[in-house]
Structure 1
Amino acid sequence: MKQLFTGLFLCLSITLFAQANFQGKAVYQSKTTFDMDRFNGRQMSEERKKQIKDRMKNMLEKTYVLSFTKEESVYKEEAKLAAPRAGRGFRFGGFGGGTKYKNIKEGKFFESTESFGKKFLITESVEKPNWKLGSETKQIGNYTCFKASLIKKTDALDWRNMRGRRGDDKKKDSTKTQKITKEIELPKEVVVTAWYTPQIPVSNGPGNYWGLPGLILEINEGRTTILCSEITMNPSEKIEIKEPTKGKEVTRAEYTKIMKKKMEEMREMFRNRRGGNGGRRGFH
């Protein structure tokens, strides 16, 4: 009986998605854990650790919305009004929230973002991810999801997977990690686990993830979990998906190079401030 019900539901889903003007919207909650002990946290009091974690909450816990058709999608952070509080919020390297656009049919991927007060339009060629499909299933809301996994190379700007280098780490040159700074390292690869549902036969998902025979409802990557909390099919208000056009057009490699250089400038600026020679640099 359960198999019959699932089969009927899939038939209805396929009929729904066959509509020429099909649209959908999925809301995702992203959470990243932070190991204070890997960043000299052992030398801090529990009260100080809590203060830092509270200040980092807006960076570690975010809500995103994926608006999609059968071929296109836009993924961006949900705008929200921050609660008033004393002091400054935590920011990482001047990076602002961006918009990720995918066109699966044409193989296009654009990311519109703002970093250090300058807008960039990052262009990438889209290659289908090399997913390994599994048979394991689990239920997410009303949807039956299947497991898939892949090994992903990390980006040098991927702060979510960065970690402090322990004393033992500094004594050896591991081929599995890359040195970001004297105190911070990044694994060269991470295992990504995805849970997708064929009940929504759209080859899409949050962020850069796509390429499975169904919408991805959950992603587990390193210390980050992205979980779908709400899905709306064919909302009454039409969704407008536009290809971003604003910002300096750069490739992913060019953007990474620019950001590395800017972060080095910031580190030098902070060193000068400690020595009494403060200054502020921007893009020219």
Structure 2
Amino acid sequence: MKKLISLSILFVTISAYAQNFSGKATYKTSRKSNFKIGGEKSTMSDAQKKEIEARIRKMSQRTFVLEFDKSTSIYKEEVKLNAPKPQMGGVRVMSFGSGNSGAFYKNLKEKRYANKTEIMGKAFLVKDSLPNYEWQLSSDTKNIGNYTCYKATFTREVENVNMSLVNGVPKEEKKMQTIVTTAWYTTQVPISNGPSDYQGLPGLILEINDGTTTIVCTEIVINPSEKIKIIEPEKGKVVTQEKYDKISEAKAKEMMERFKSKNGNGIEIRIGG
């Protein structure tokens, strides 16, 4: 059985050094997709299906920047020119969710967050309490760049929603799933923070994987010459996370209806959890 490291002891390091810390960390994200195109009546060739699926996977590869100080942070996608949405065989690939305008603000001291995001062009500001992850710390280590990182995991039960459009007929399937999330953090950057809503470890999270999405830090700049200004986002319809999830699910169903085939061409689309 692996030896667990005490959170209380390691957090002493953070409180001693975090007072003067600020910086930014760059993260690359990638998502494992079960997006499938096909169906009994599909007129597309196998090559066309594979190309569209490859483009969908590429759309999930994104770059984010986390700017932080001792108690607050903001996590935003790196600004870049919008590429044209890919098309193939008469099928237009649509993205669903937040765009480059998104910003995830965390206040560690007050244990809350404000997530500026959008769904199908409508702006939302999701405000809620930070999740309390029950991290299990391990003595396992590995190097990420020049940093020594320690392993931590937590397990949770989530409802996985699988929505599909098969031969023009929308379907929805829900089931509970056990998710094990693995993080690698470094006490060399003594800030209890990380990408997205991840936090609560005795050091900055440099890598995290929940079985579907992998986020890896590629660069860290501590106390940069240009002063970091962290501003909490304000624009957007204010909702709780629970309310936002319900709106998101409803909009996903609406998007499926838009995909619904009028001539039964057998396109199948699956969007997992």
TM-score bracket for the superposition, by shorter chain length: 0.7 to 0.9
CA-to-partner distance for each residue in 1:227-281, whole Å, 9 max, x for gaps?
A: 000000111111110111110100011111122222333333444x727xxxxxx
Partner of 1:34: 33
- The offset of 1:154, in angstroms, is 3.6
Partner AA of 2:93 in structure 1: F
User: Does structure 2 retain, via aligned residues, the 8 Å contact 1:204–1:211?
Assistant: yes
Letter of the aligned partner of 1:274 in structure 2? Answer: K
Report SS of the residue matched to 1:254. helix
Q: Determine the structure 2 residue equivalent to 1:118.
A: 122
Percent identity at matched positions?
47
Distance 1:200 1:208, change over 3 A: same
Shift of the 54–148 alpha-carbon distance from structure 1 to 2, 3 Å rule, reads: same
- TM-score, L = length of structure 1: 0.73
Any conservation in 2 of the 1:218–1:225 contact (CA below 8 Å)? yes
> How has the CA–CA distance of structure 1 residues 16 and 238 changed in structure 2, closer, same or farther, with 3 Å as cutoff?
farther
Q: What CA deviation, in whole Å up to 9, does each residue of 1:151-204 have, x standing for no partner?
A: 1344667xxxx698xxxxxxxxxxxxxxxx736656533110000001111000
- Partner residue of 1:256? 245
In structure 1, which of residues 74, 91, 94 is the aligned counterpart of residue 94 of structure 2? 91
1:253 maps to amino acid: E
Q: What secondary structure does 2:185 align onto?
A: strand
Aligned CA-pair RMSD: 3.3
Unaligned residue ranges in structure 1 (runs of 5+): 1-12, 165-180, 276-284
State the structure with bigger RCO (CA 8 A, min sep 6), 1 or 2.
Answer: 2
* Alpha-carbon shift at residue 54 of structure 1 (Å): 3.6
Q: Secondary structure at the match of 1:93?
A: coil
Check conservation: 1:59, 1:90, Cα contact below 8 A.
Answer: no
Structure 2 residue runs of 5 or longer lacking an equivalent are 1-12, 165-169, 264-273
Deviation of 1:213 after TM superposition, in Å, equals 0.3
Distance 1:185 1:96, change over 3 A: farther
Q: After superposition, where does 1:208-227 map in structure 2 within 5 Å?
A: 208-227=197-216
Shift in Å, 1:133: 0.5
Contact 2:181 2:209 in 1 (8 A): yes
Q: 1:144 to 1:186 in 2, by over 3 A?
A: farther
Q: Give the aligned partner of residue 51 of structure 1.
A: 51
Structure with the higher fraction of residues in strand conformation: 2
1:189-208 equivalences under 5 Å are: 189-208=178-197
SS at match of 1:260: helix
Q: Secondary structure at the match of 1:219?
A: strand
Question: Offset of 1:120 from its aligned partner?
Answer: 0.4
Q: 1:90 to 1:76 in 2, by over 3 A?
A: farther
User: What CA distance in whole angstroms lies between the structure 2 residues aligned with 1:186 and 1:77?
Assistant: 31
2:105 is matched with which residue?
101
Task: Summarize the Cα distance change of 1:29–1:269 in structure 2 as closer, same or farther, 3 Å threshold.
Answer: closer
Q: How many residues align?
A: 242
Is the CA contact (8 Å cut-off) linking 1:41 and 1:49 kept in structure 2? no
Q: Aligned with 2:251: secondary structure?
A: helix
3-state SS of paired residue (2:242): helix
Question: What displacement does 1:51 show?
Answer: 1.2
Pair 1:60–1:266, CA change in 2 (3 A): closer
2:262 is aligned to 274
Greater helix content: 1
